[in-house]
Structure 1
């Protein structure tokens, strides 16, 4: 459950394998997640999605369980289930932060010049099915077939969300003498709330 919660009675929220509980105390509320406890003097709580940047990574790599082959001039789009982080705030103050989805990392590139990235495996689906999702648009503007086996995209400080699901910005994958990946910063669909600063950044997949 993402968004703003008005604290009036006890609240319990499940996000993936994590459970948030807010208990009413005399004149205050107690926020509980596992061993994390914070006393809240107030009546408002915000549960917001955040990019899965654990340990300061700047890229996410998604290995496709089913690689996608695209002929010249064709395009395909769909959703991938990916990890996210959750930022729990009162006003502008973050009182808790945790990951939803498997926390895995991988080396992108060579041992000499590669970088550590957030890693996930997923299958392209026609609709968003997980708590954390990314919509990708793959288009082949080249003159020969292209095969996409993994997608590596830069992480921005902007996310979109509905009440039940979180989304990274729309990712465009362009095939033409190589593969360019663009984090558009744009919403993947209509009707979503936004948190963070919108901008666009491009990335050329080298490996």
Structure 2
């Protein structure tokens, strides 16, 4: 389903159907995902349609830029680094691209979305919430619903720390795909309650395709700054 399309096409996987049909001189885009449908008439002669995974913080509406993944507790020795694999939710974006511009046409996803508060009620942040097991190797995932995150955790503090969640600013997220969806991230623990998180702009495997980012398509300036977790990670 992911890829570039010109003119008419039809793709279907489980509860998801995406198509573009030309009839009576008009090109119509249609999408069905579960019980939700979306349709638009497209006026274009040279534009391409791009379908790829996007930052999973857009549904059911744009609430936050933050993504939180909770996982089984891990205890790290001072000065150690451990790479693990987590699962994260996938949303699918549809873009219209011409020689001069790119536009977001549609964003959809299977299932429901959960949100939570990271930090205190007075100045914490709302985050898209996802629960994952911890894997030592790349796990199998449900296609078009979840992706694989490679997370390198470094305990740069002088004490043992327990970690059971990680929070990111999704504006820094770099997503790649082929037969499954991936992202690569880091978590640098500074003290018992402080950690820096960021994404790495690199494919998990050679030959993967980089997704078009929603923030780039929407012309929103983004400075790669990562995120500082100030309220702990348990």
Q: Which TM-score bucket, shorter chain as reference?
A: 0.7 to 0.9
On the 8 A contact 2:190/2:196 being kept in 1, the answer is no
- Structure 1 residues 75 and 127: CA distance shift in structure 2, 3 A: same
1:204 counterpart = 2:229: yes
Distance 1:70 1:17, change over 3 A: farther
Task: Say which of 31, 34, 38 aligns to 1:36.
Answer: 38
State the number of aligned residues: 203
Q: Are 2:55 and 1:51 equivalent residues in the alignment?
A: yes
TM-score norm. by structure 1 comes to 0.82
Matched, 1:71 2:77: yes
State the alpha-carbon separation in 1 of the partners of residues 154 and 203 from structure 2.
16
Q: Write the distance in 2 (CA, Å) between the matches of 1:27 and 1:164.
A: 34
Asked if 1 retains the 8 angstrom alpha-carbon contact of 2:196 and 2:229, the reply is yes
- SS of the residue corresponding to residue 47 of structure 1 reads strand
What residue in structure 1 maps to residue 115 of structure 2? 105
- Bigger fraction of residues in strand: 1
Structure 1 residue runs without a partner (length 5+): none
Q: Identify unmatched segments of 5+ residues in structure 2.
A: 217-222
| Structure 2 contact 86–148 (Cα < 8 Å) conserved | yes
Distance in 2 of aligned mates of 1:102 and 1:122: 16
Distance 1:74 1:188 in 2: 24
Contact 2:88/2:148 (8 A) holds in 1: yes
Q: Alpha carbons of 1:188 and 1:101: their partners in 2 closer, same or farther (altered >3 Å)?
A: farther
Report the TM-score, using the length of structure 2 for normalisation: 0.73
